[in-house]
Each structure stands twice: as C-alpha cells, then as structure tokens.
C-alpha cells in the first residue's frame, strides 16, 4: 500500500491539477469535501486530497471498503472497513477482537533525483486497545460515497508521535470490485 501511494505521488507530483479546490474548511459539520476529494485537519492544519488520486473502492461482494486519498505534497490517507454495510458508523478500535477496521495517515518525502532515497512516515489507528476514532458513511449512490471521519493515530514504527485527525469529510467517486 505504501509503495502504491509513493509511486502515485511520484507520478502526479509533476502533473498539474485543475480541480476546484477551495482550500477552506468544511463550514462546520456535514460534508465539506468538494467532488472527488477528501479534506481534514491534521493536528489543526488543513489537508485536501487531489481528485485524481482519491477513491472509494467497495470489494469482496460489497463487504469491504477501502478509501485512499493523497495530495501533491506527499500526504495521504487510507481507511479500511471490513464488514462494510453501507450508511452507518464504523469504529477504529483495538478493543474488539473481531473488528479489523484501520485508518492511517502518511507523509512521504519523495527524492525525485533518487526515488530509492524517498522516506515515508506512517501514523496508524488503532494502535492500542482503545477507540481511536470513527468513520461515518452519510450517503452512498451508484457512483459516489460521502461521509465524515476523525481519529487519533500513532507512528508506531517510528518516533511514536501521535497525530489527531479532525473535521474529516469525503465526497469520493465509488468503484466496485467483486
């Protein structure tokens, strides 16, 4: 997954984008993400993905959901819901053994002169046996998936730092794979 996101970022770093990103916050509640994007605050700083590198994929006969979103700065989100059932709220928790929902935030520093020297820091949730956050699907159509999310994630493989993701929302193109 990290390799895929890194390669996607390397590919699209030099491409221009004409998405109509407003760069503002979501106006309080609801879904403030523009068409095809994911927005959030990462430790209070605004994040917005590019539509070209953001999607929601429903797989395994509709039972799994994978959301991937990245921007041209090498920052990305990934969220997986196992046992997906449509419009509902899903938890990112380590407290329940049979819940395998995960969320992550990553920052990749791409070295365009030598891509092998690129580095990625990954913050993941859940990282212990507590409730790390939630993802709520507010609307699902044949072509779109909209919702909100928030979670706390930890860089367990690195410096052990914690990031707080708030005011997350998405309005993503939906793909279905069997």
- pLDDT-derived band at 111 (thresholds 50, 70, 90) equals confident
- pLDDT-derived band at 176 (thresholds 50, 70, 90) equals very high
Q: What residues contact 39, with CB distance under 8 A and at least 6 apart?
A: 25, 26, 32, 33, 46, 47, 48, 49, 167, 168, 169, 170
CA 126 from centre of chain = 14
Listed by start position, the domains of the chain span 2-10+30-176
Q: Looking at the chain, how many residues does it have?
A: 178
What are the pLDDT digits (tens) for 52-67? Answer: 999 999 999 999 999 9
pTM for this model (two decimals): 0.80
Q: Which of 123, 109, 134, 115 is nearest to 156 (CA)?
A: 123
């Amino acid at each position: 997954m990290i390799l895929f996101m890194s390669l996607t970022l390397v590919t699209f770093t030099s491409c221009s984008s004409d998405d109509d990103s407003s760069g503002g916050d979501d106006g309080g509640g609801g879904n403030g993400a523009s068409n095809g994007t994911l927005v959030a605050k990462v430790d209070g700083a605004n994040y917005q993905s590019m539509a070209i590198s953001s999607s929601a994929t429903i797989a395994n006969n509709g039972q799994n959901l994978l959301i991937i979103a990245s921007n041209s700065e090498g920052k990305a989100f990934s969220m997986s819901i196992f046992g997906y059932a449509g419009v509902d709220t899903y938890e990112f928790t380590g407290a329940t053994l049979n819940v395998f929902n995960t969320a992550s935030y990553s920052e990749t520093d791409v070295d365009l002169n030598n891509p092998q020297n690129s580095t990625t820091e990954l913050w993941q949730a859940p990282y212990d046996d507590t409730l790390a956050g939630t993802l709520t699907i507010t609307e699902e159509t044949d072509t779109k998936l909209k919702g909100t999310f928030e979670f706390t994630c930890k860089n367990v493989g690195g410096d052990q730092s914690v990031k707080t993701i708030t005011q997350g929302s998405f309005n993503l193109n939906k793909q279905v794979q069997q």
